[in-house]
Amino acid sequence: MIPKYNPKEIEEKWQKIWEEQKLFKAIEDPNKKKYYLLEMFPYPSGKIHMGHVRNYSIGDVIARYKWMKGFNVLHPMAWDAFGMPAENAAIEHGVHPAKWTYENIEYMKHQLKRMGFSYDWDREFATCDVSYYKWEQLFFIKMYEKGLAYKRKSLVNWCEICKTVLANEQVMGDGTCWRGHPDDPGVTQKELEQWFFKITDYAEELLEWCDRLPGWPERVLSMQRNWIGKSIGAEIHFPLENGDGVIKVFTTRQDTVFGATFMSLAPEHPLALDLSKGTSQEKAVRDFIEKIKRQDWMKRTSPTTEKEGVFTGAYCLNPMTRERMPIFVANFVLMEYGTGAVMGVPTHDQRDFEFAKKYGLPLIVVIQPEGDPLVAETMTQAYEGEGRLVHSGPFNGMDSVSAREAIAKYLEEKGLGGKKVSYRLRDWGISRQRYWGAPIPIIYCDRCGTVPVPEKELPVVLPLDVEITGMGESPLAKVKDFVETRCPSCHGPARRETDTMDTFVESSWYFDRFACPDYQEGPLDRKRVDYWMPVDQYIGGIEHAILHLLYSRFFTRVLKELGWVGVEEPFTNLLTQGMVCKEVYECPRDGYLFPEEIERKGERIHCRKCGGEIEAGRLEKMSKSKKNVVDPEYLIEKYGADTARMFCLFAAPPEKDLDWSDQGVEGSFRFLNRVWRLIWDQAPRLKDLTPLPFGTPLEGEPRFLRQKTHQTIKKVTEDIERFHFNTAISAIMELVNEIYASDLKDQEDERSRRVLREAVETTVLLLSPFVPHISEELWEQLGNHESIIKRPWPEYDPEAILKEEILIVIQINGKLRDRITVPVSFGEEEIKQWALKSERVKRYVEGKEIKKVIFVPKKLINIVC
């Protein structure tokens, strides 16, 4: 009698054994080849979601596979534990963020263990541990000393819901906060004193190294390149007419400088008000600047906003032509990019064209395209393409591409500017007006100014005795004992910085700390870091394509310069898994509905609340607010962790979005039951048998099954190597189907039984990285006494996969007409003779002359006639 497959029981059993035997403990061993596998660590929000299950299931396949392949695997897990939700919980439920966080960690750790992931839990830490963030404070001080951390007053992004500043990277394309609040009013601008990390110093390096990361997906690299946004051009100095200095301009089209007929300044440009002072335009300029400053940022920076400006009353000179150029203040010029001033070339820039038409400014054509020449008076839009230079003095006749080079050189020689590179990337603002984060280790003294906390006084411990109301400024500012301190320099009374660091700082180096989580003498034990770093394979969601991945790359470069790590890049290979999606049902009246709140009547779907018809569900990322989540805990209870893991791996390739299907989960569960029954059925007959040695000659059914077994080993191995887990699983399914269909199950001779034993054993071994619990249990059932992970990954016998007979496809003029099975030894001539004997082939060839025969060994023959 075969016992029922009881996932709950066997999963608990094996998780206990793995833990007791510390099977996944990583120990530095210079004699073994290391493999550092890392998945993006979770925020301890309360419970794990399907995204975690998918991410960590993918990682676990690779980890377990690499173990079996003999690598020294580091597969750690930790908690990205600082952040806003903990504070919100404090505000809403009155629970302390620390308590909330550590309790969530306990619960989620328990959940991860129930999934059976192969982590080395001895290396676990939480970023809110003092023993972690104190080193981050040390980094901050070192960066401050090197000028890489600095404070300045600036316009910053403010999220009214988070009540804090956001970095540029944390503002999404639609102007909302990266946390995705349900009713996000949009990020606004605020002027504040803020700490920044000077990531712009590394713009060029970070960009260049994008080309040296062949193990990263192209879309991520492309996003990072876009974000850094390098433009090559020139800086041009336009002297003010009154002789009082210059206006500096950045342009990528210096070849059009002879056509520049006006100048526009950003409203925030320091010269904007100065220039108008004392002129009749002063009031108009002042009003205009005030109006623009009041406008909300999203609207102001939208390309569709009407372009407008106001004349300052002042002029500058075109440095090439010495022509007067009126200076405007214009709403479309951004202080943040380039120099905050733009030269206006109406003929060759569409925006300038529209502006010039509106304000009656002159047009001069300086680039002539091939074909009909441009005439300024009849132009209806700007010509932005390449061409030959005209009205450009000594540069006349040059093509625009080489003119850019020549003019940049000329500007340089004449002291009027020169070649210049501009980046879109801006410095990383790290100050957060929040409590639950790492304190910035800075002290303000009235006498000594800004003083970093001395190294020996670290850590600056985040006080736990604090009132969190969500009102007013940072809660830390209200903790007297924390704020009031002594100046490390003059020992006089001083105040502590009360902002905390962006939580992305913690996640920018946690992967280094995993090499030496217990190290006390410093942030990183260089010897151990050098052994494990870089991460060989990093896995996580595409949503961090810019944010976390760019910050980590920046931090790694800084830490290398500080001598704490030896690598330039932290992650050699990156796999970005897709989202887990499920259909959402949205009723026009009652909003989002749970699946049980809808009713299907044939093709139509109705809302159970109001009875109205609703649209068919569209697929969207699982989210609580859209009521389309599946709780992993429910799956573990109902089907077990193995089924949950298998479904995530089988339903889609890792980098694609995964469409949730309840029936698909059933299918995975069904398959595991099928394997369970097969092994239990056969195991008693196959005890104490070993597979036949490599190269054993066989005939008939034993030969066939052995061939399938070894083909499967080859296929599954290759598929895991290239992360095609879905096809790896389908190959194992095929093998299982083959075993079911095989009559070897009824044969009693030793050879047949040994072949069957090998097939069954291989099935379990190949399944083990995907569904480890059931594999361990069945492995034991087959008479083994050690964990399956200690068994080396199977190798295929090259002789076993050789075929005696092969199927050859016969094409006539490239169209499939027949298939024949021939001995593998047959050459082209023999196959051709056989092919021509086929009735079907005869039909097409009869009476025609064979012009050509193409023969692809072991595949096909194509007869052209």
Partner RNA sequence: GCCUGGGUGGCGGAAUAGGUAGACGCAAGGGACUUAAAAUCCCUCGGUGGUCCCCCACCGUGCCGGUUCAACUCCGGCCUCAGGCACCA
Q: Per rule CB under 7 A, is residue 305 in the interface with RNA?
A: yes
- The gap from C-alpha 243 to its chain's centroid, in whole angstroms, comes to 52
| Residue 141 vs 675, nearer CB to RNA | 675
Q: Which is nearer to RNA, 429 or 475 (CB)?
A: 429
Alpha-carbon distance values, 261 to 37, 264, 700 (Å)? 58, 10, 88
Q: Rule CB under 7 A: say whether 671 interacts with RNA.
A: yes
Query: What's the CA gap between 234 and 232, in Å, rounded?
Result: 7
Q: Please identify, using beta-carbon distances, which residue of 448 and 542 lies nearer to RNA.
A: 542
In the complex, least distance from residue 815 CB atom to RNA, rounded to whole angstroms? 7
Are β-strands 571-577 and 449-452 bridged in parallel, bridged antiparallel, or unpaired? unpaired
Which positions from 730 through 769 interact with RNA, judged by CB under 7 A? Answer: 730, 733-734, 737, 740-741
Beta carbon nearer to RNA, 110 or 670: 670
Q: Residue from 161, 246, 273, 334 that binds RNA (CB under 7 A)? A: 334
User: Is position 357 an interface residue for RNA (rule: CB under 7 A)?
Assistant: no
Residues 239-258 binding RNA (CB under 7 A) are: 250-253
Give least dist CB 674 to RNA, A. 5
Residue type, 745: K
**Dihedral sign for Cα atoms in the order 229, 235, 238, 244:** positive
Whether the CA torsion 201, 207, 212, 216 is positive or negative: it is: positive
Residue 335 host element (H or E): none
Instruction: Report the site for RNA in 488-517 (rule: CB under 7 A).
Output: none
Q: Where are the alpha helices (DSSP H) in 651-699?
A: 662-686
* Start-to-end Cα distance in the chain: 63
Q: Which of 25, 99, 608, 670 binds RNA (CB under 7 A)?
A: 670
- The answer to whether the CB of 595 falls within 8 A of the CB of 605 is no
- One of 351, 544, 548, 553 touching RNA (CB under 7 A): 351
Contact 512, 559 (CB under 8 A): yes
Task: Give the residue with the Cβ less far from RNA, 692 or 744.
Answer: 744
CA distance 131 to 108: 21
In the 8-state DSSP scheme, what is residue 523?
S
- Stretch touching RNA by CB under 7 A, among 182-190, 592-600, 712-720, 796-804: 712-720
Does 601 sit near RNA (CB under 7 A)?
Answer: no
* Contact flag: residue 412 with RNA (CB under 7 A): no
Determine if 6 is a binding residue for RNA (CB under 7 A).
no
Of 461, 431, 569, 455, residue with least CA distance to 511? 569
Q: Tell whether residue 659 is a contact of RNA (CB under 7 A).
A: yes
We find the least distance from the C-beta atom of residue 541 to RNA, in angstroms, to be 11
Residue 215 per-residue DSSP state: B
Nearer to RNA, 335 or 836 (CB): 335
Q: Which stretch binds RNA (CB under 7 A): 32-40, 53-61, 218-226, 568-576?
A: 218-226
Residues 6+ apart with CB under 8 A from 539: 37, 38, 39, 40, 55, 58, 59, 62, 574, 575, 576, 577, 654
Name which of 27, 189, 19, 23 is nearest 518 in CA terms: 27
Widest Cα–Cα separation across the chain: 109
DSSP label at residue 848: S
Q: Is residue 302 at the binding interface for RNA, with CB under 7 A as the rule?
A: yes
Considering the rule CB under 7 A, would residue 656 count as an interface residue with RNA?
A: yes
Does 819 participate in binding RNA (rule CB under 7 A)?
A: yes
Of 351, 264, 262, 261, nearest in space to 307 by CA:
351
Piece of 338-346, 410-418, 514-522, 584-592 that binds RNA (CB under 7 A): 338-346
As measured in angstroms, the least distance from the Cβ of 585 to RNA is 17
Rounded Cα gap, residues 73 and 29, in angstroms: 10
Q: How far apart are CA 433 and CA 498, in angstroms?
A: 8
Residue 160 contacts RNA per CB under 7 A: no
Looking at the Cβ atoms of 101 and 339, the one nearer to RNA is 339
Does the footprint of RNA cover residue 222 (CB under 7 A)? yes
- The CB-of-430 to RNA minimum distance in angstroms stands at 19
Residue 133 interacts with RNA (CB under 7 A)?
A: no
In whole angstroms, the minimum distance from the beta carbon of 660 to RNA comes to 10
From candidates 131, 231, 279, 696, binder to RNA by CB under 7 A: 231
605 binds RNA (CB under 7 A): no
What residues between 718 and 737 interact with RNA by CB under 7 A?
718-719, 722, 724, 726-727, 729-730, 733-734, 737
> Is residue 157 near RNA by the rule CB under 7 A?
no
State the residue for tokens 């009476």: 847
Pick the closer one to RNA by CB: 89 or 263.
Answer: 263
What amino acid occupies position 787? S
Of residues 118 and 709, the one with the C-beta less far from RNA:
709
Locate tokens 């077994």: which residue?
Answer: 709
Smallest gap from residue 123 Cβ to RNA (A): 33
With binding defined as CB under 7 A, does residue 631 bind RNA? no
Kindly report the length of the chain: 865
Q: Which stretch binds RNA (CB under 7 A): 130-138, 153-161, 458-466, 646-654?
A: 646-654
With CB under 7 A as the contact rule, the residue among 49, 64, 626, 715 that binds RNA is 715
What's the Cα-to-Cα distance from 504 to each of 166, 424, 437, rounded to whole Å? 11, 20, 10
The verdict on 186 binding RNA (CB under 7 A) reads no
Cis peptide before 459 (omega within 30 of 0): yes
Alpha carbon of 408 to those of 255, 257, 368, 412, 450: distances in Å? 9, 11, 20, 6, 41
Beta bridge partners of 34: 72
What burial class does residue 783 get, using C-beta atoms within 10 Å of its C-beta: 0-12 exposed, 13-18 middle, 19+ buried?
middle
Does position 428 bind RNA by CB under 7 A?
no
Q: Which is nearer to RNA, 168 or 572 (CB)?
A: 168
300 near RNA (CB under 7 A) = yes
Beta bridge pairs of residue 247: 238
Which CB, 114 or 253, lies closer to RNA?
Answer: 253
**Chain centre distance of CA 711:** 35
**Closer Cβ to RNA, 205 or 718, answer by number:** 718
Is 813 a binder of RNA (CB under 7 A)?
yes
461 versus 616: smaller Cβ distance to RNA:
616
How far is it, in rounded angstroms, from Cα 800 to Cα 761? 16
Q: Which of residues 840-859 bind RNA (CB under 7 A)?
A: 840, 852, 854, 856, 859
Question: d(Cα 252, Cα 230) in Å, to the nearest integer?
Answer: 11
Of 280-288, 434-442, 449-457, 658-666, the segment contacting RNA by CB under 7 A is 658-666
> Any contact of residue 837 with RNA (CB under 7 A)?
no
Cis peptide before 534 (omega within 30 of 0): yes
Smallest CA-to-CA distance from 128 within 430, 514, 506 is with 506
424 touches RNA by CB under 7 A: yes
Does 801 sit near RNA (CB under 7 A)?
A: no
Task: Please give the Cα distance from 330 to 308 (Å, whole number).
Answer: 6
Q: If binding means CB under 7 A, how many residues of this protein chain bind RNA?
A: 91
Stated as kind and residue range, the H or E segment containing 325 is strand 324-330
Q: Does 822 bind RNA (CB under 7 A)?
A: no
Pairwise CA distance, residues 258 & 241, whole Å? 17
Q: CA 624, CA 366: separation in Å to the nearest integer?
A: 58
3 makes contact with RNA (CB under 7 A)? no
Give whichever of 230 and 528 is closer to RNA, judged by the CB atom.
Answer: 230
User: Which residue in the set 3, 30, 147, 173 belongs to the binding site for RNA (CB under 7 A)?
Assistant: 173
Q: Is 320 in the site for RNA (CB under 7 A)?
A: no
Which residues from 528-587 bind RNA, rule CB under 7 A? Answer: 542, 545-546
Binding of RNA at residue 343 (CB under 7 A)?
yes
Contact between 296 and RNA by CB under 7 A: the answer reads no
